[in-house]
Amino acid sequence: MLVILGGAIGAPMRYLIDRSVQARHGTTFPWGTFGANVTGSMILGTLTGATLAGAASQNVQLFLGSGLCGALTTYSTFSYETLSLAEAGARFLAAVNVVASIVAGLGAVFIGLTFAQAAFG
């Protein structure tokens, strides 16, 4: 039930973040999905650090990690948008999306984990 509840919150958050960010940027680059994925990565890194330090329970991990972050982040939309960029002839933007998403996502996890270790360690 915790995963379902987290997912029920994370999926609309992803949609709202995507629409809000895309409305402010008149580019074909998928900033909304990028922002949602980096945000979810930061939350998951922080949660992982808190869990490792014993500051977050398994129930919190299920709710926030599997539920909320699982629905907030989206590999399928990232893949679709990257492919769409490439098919539209924006191959450079497609490559930037891949590299930036991986670097920013991993960076966000690391920052979140480091923050949690400092706060709870």
- Binding-site residue positions for Na(+): 70, 73
Q: Which two tokens stand for residue 98?
A: 């891949």
Backbone angles phi, psi at 100, to 5 degrees: -65, -40
Cα distance between residue 84 and residue 68, in whole Å:
26
Q: How far apart are CA 91 and CA 86, in angstroms?
A: 4
Q: Give the residue numbers of the binding site.
A: 70, 73
End-to-end C-alpha distance for the chain, whole angstroms: 30
Measured distance CA(1)–CA(21) in Å, rounded: 30
